[in-house]
Structure formats: structure tokens, C-alpha cells
Amino acid sequence: MVTAFRSRLKVEGEAVTLLEGNTPLIDCPRLAAWACPGGTLLVKYEGLNPTGSFKDRGMTAAITQAAHDGSRTVICASTGNTAASAAAYAARAGLRCVVLIPEGKVAMGKLAGSIAYGAQVVQIDGSFDDGLRLVREISDKAPITLVNSVNPARVEGQKTAAFEVNDALGQAPDWLCLPVGNAGNISAYWLGFVQDALERGFGTPQLLGGQAAGSAPIVLGHVVEEPETLATAIRIGNPARWFQAKEALADSDGQLWRVSDTEIMEAYGQLSRLEGVFCEPSSAAGVAALRKSVLNGEVEPEGKTFVAVLTGHGLKDPDAAIAGQTDSIAVLAPTYDAIMGVIE
């Protein structure tokens, strides 16, 4: 667990940790010129956590608490990153881990993680939302601990990201931009910022969330029965922390945008091509929402500081990066002239 913050988190037990957290906050001036001209844009590169996503912050806390409580088995439903993270921390604690994933909708790097860390992987012919309903029922009826973000320890651990942003900037940013799926992360950031405001006197940012257009229940105000998006991590139609996300958005005077897959993939491409920062498609939804809000005149970027949370590493979803691109990579004769022929 992010040891420096341990005393500020409501979690009991000897830490089950992979030394998560302490991720870099990277200044991205070229991306800022594209997304929020006149403003400063920094990205919190959460893909550099041990299993490649922000989920490790909450998972170290949830598994620490589960082990302390004497649990032998943990379970989660997942679009992929929660599963990989739960699998790793359960392995570290010697607990059994079961993960439910929607068949065919989990990116390769996430599935690889869950398998490598030794979880029991169960695919369901259904959505993430079906999976979450099932694991709630299973954890109610059987002695199995639920480690989705409805578990309060998850949110405790995830708050550390807000503390780190404040530490790095010496104050809260004006805006915090992030993707919204099951809405655990946006809820946790808000709790973290509010706690830091009380305990250390930092201000609080306005929150700016992005939901994929085909999976935007909170923006639309109703459950989406069959969510669809290329950003499979946030392919969620009935978020568990819907109410908390609404509250956080209202309390922070925030905004929540619906961004199309095209807008998400554009932001995803700009991040890696303009700044050398490779995230998975879902992670770019916060940047896409920022650009959209600026283009629509709803956010005035001049002189403002924006932090965009990049929730997962680009290598989680190699298929998204190479889709349609491999055919254009020529195979040449291994000669000087052939190679120079395409460089010049």
C-alpha cells in the first residue's frame, strides 16, 4: 500500500503490497495545445502501476483488509483491469481469486494478467453488469469476499491518487479529467480531494468525466441495457457508484461528457504520438472529454491547470494499437538501398 498515506486510510491489517502508486505526473504541452490551448495539461500515468492500471491502488487495500478479516477467497466481475489486479494481490496474499469477465470483451493484456497470476477465470455470456450482479449475490450467500469497488477498502486505497496529485502540484489542479465506467475512481478521487482539503488545506478541483457514447448511463440518466464501445474497460451500463459520481460532479461543479469512440481513439492517438505516453483507449476518454468541453465553450482553458488521469497502460490492449496498421508495415530486402528508399 502507498505506505506514506497508510495512516490516512481506513484499512486494517499488514499491507499486502506490490509497491503500487507514486506514478508520474507528466507535463504534456503539445497535447495541451490540442486539447486545452492556453492551459497546462499534466497526465497522471496510472498505467505504471504494478499490474498496469490504477486498480492496484484500491486492490492493495481490499486484499489487505480481506486477508486481515480471514477471508480465503476473493471474487470480482471485471472488464479486465480489476480482474488482473485482484489476481495479482490475491496471489501475493496466498488467497484464492475468482474473476468473472464478459466473453470476448476483455483486452488481451488484461486476460494475460489474470491467467498469469493464477486466478480462476470464468467467462460469462453476458455483460460486466450481469457479472457484477452475480458476484454480489455470490458474496452475499457464500464466504467469499467481493473486491469490486463497492468494497469500501477499494475506495480508501484509490484516494491516494488525489493525495499524490496535490503533493506533486503543491495545490489541487483546477480540473481533474478522467474516464467514468463503474464510477469508483471518480468517487474515490473526490473523497481524496475533500479529505486533503480538510487535513492539509488544499483546494478541490472541478471534475470532468468522460463516458463512452454507447455506454453513458450517467449522462443519459438511465441504465444502458446493452452497452457498446471500443473502450471495453468502460463498457458498463449500470455503474455501482452512480449516485456517488453524481454527488461528486455536483459538489465539484463538474461536467460529464459523452464522447464517441472516434473522439476517444483520436485522443488516444494524440497522447502517444504527441507526447510518447501510451495508454489504453478507455484511459483517453478523460482527455477526449476535456477537448470536447473546450471546443463547446463549456470550459475556458486559459491559465488553468488540468490533470488527466490515464487509468491503464497501452500495452493492456495491443490489438487497439495495431488495428488496421500491420498491413502498412512493408517487408523489405535487407539492403541499404531498400531501407533508404523508404526513409528518404
Among 184, 217, 237, 301, binds ligand AN7 (CB under 6 A): 184
Q: Does 182 bind ligand AN7 (CB under 6 A)?
A: yes
Among 252, 280, 289, 299, binds ligand AN7 (CB under 6 A): 280
Q: What is the smallest separation between the CB atom of 47 and ligand AN7, expressed in angstroms?
A: 8
Q: How far apart are CA 105 and CA 226, in angstroms?
A: 13
Give residue 25's identity as a one-letter amino acid code: L
The region of 14-22, 77-85, 296-304, 329-337 touching ligand AN7 under the rule CB under 6 A is 77-85
Give residue 240's identity as a one-letter amino acid code: A
Site pattern 101..140 for ligand AN7 (x: CB under 6 A): ----------------------------------------
Give residue 333's identity as a one-letter amino acid code: A
Q: Does 177 bind ligand AN7 (CB under 6 A)?
A: no
Among 82, 229, 238, 305, binds ligand AN7 (CB under 6 A): 82
Q: How far apart are CA 257 and CA 23, in angstroms?
A: 26
Work out whether strand 255-259 and strand 96-102 pair parallel, antiparallel, or are unpaired.
unpaired
Nearer to ligand AN7 by C-beta: 275 or 280? 280
The region of 86-94, 200-208, 278-286, 318-326 touching ligand AN7 under the rule CB under 6 A is 278-286
Contacts of 245 (CB under 8 A, 6+ apart): 180, 183, 186, 187, 209, 218, 239, 256
Nearer to ligand AN7 by C-beta: 81 or 229? 81
Q: Does 282 bind ligand AN7 (CB under 6 A)?
A: yes
Nearer to ligand AN7 by C-beta: 97 or 183? 183
Among 17, 23, 51, 81, binds ligand AN7 (CB under 6 A): 81
Q: What is the smallest separation between the CB atom of 180 and ligand AN7, expressed in angstroms?
A: 5
Q: How far apart are CA 9 and CA 144, in angstroms?
A: 23
Q: Does 204 bind ligand AN7 (CB under 6 A)?
A: no
Chain residues 31-60 in contact with ligand AN7, contact rule CB under 6 A: 53
Q: How far apart are CA 150 and CA 62, in angstroms?
A: 10
Contact in structure between 74 and 101 (CB atoms under 8 Å): no
Q: Does 145 bind ligand AN7 (CB under 6 A)?
A: no
Buried b (16+ CB within 10 A) or exposed e, 251-264: ebebbbbbbebebb
Q: Does 233 bind ligand AN7 (CB under 6 A)?
A: yes
Q: Does 183 bind ligand AN7 (CB under 6 A)?
A: yes
Among 43, 180, 230, 256, binds ligand AN7 (CB under 6 A): 180
- Which cell goes with 92? 501475493
Distances (CA, A) of 28 to 34, 93, 141: 10, 37, 48
User: Could you write out the three-class secondary structure of 149-212?
Assistant: CCCHHHHHHHCHHHHHHHHHHCCCCCEEEEECCCCHHHHHHHHHHHHHHHHHCCCCCEEEEEEE
Q: Does 181 bind ligand AN7 (CB under 6 A)?
A: yes
Helix (H) or strand (E) holding 87: helix 81-93
Q: What is the smallest separation between the CB atom of 164 and ligand AN7, expressed in angstroms?
A: 17
Q: Does 95 bind ligand AN7 (CB under 6 A)?
A: no
Among 157, 205, 312, 314, binds ligand AN7 (CB under 6 A): 312
Q: How far apart are CA 261 and CA 249, in angstroms?
A: 23
CA nearest 89: which of 162, 142, 157? 157
Q: Does 238 bind ligand AN7 (CB under 6 A)?
A: no
CA nearest 128: which of 110, 109, 155, 154? 110
The region of 7-15, 78-86, 138-146, 200-208 touching ligand AN7 under the rule CB under 6 A is 78-86
**Rule CB under 6 A: which residues touch ligand AN7?**
53, 78-82, 149, 179-186, 233-234, 280, 282-283, 311-312
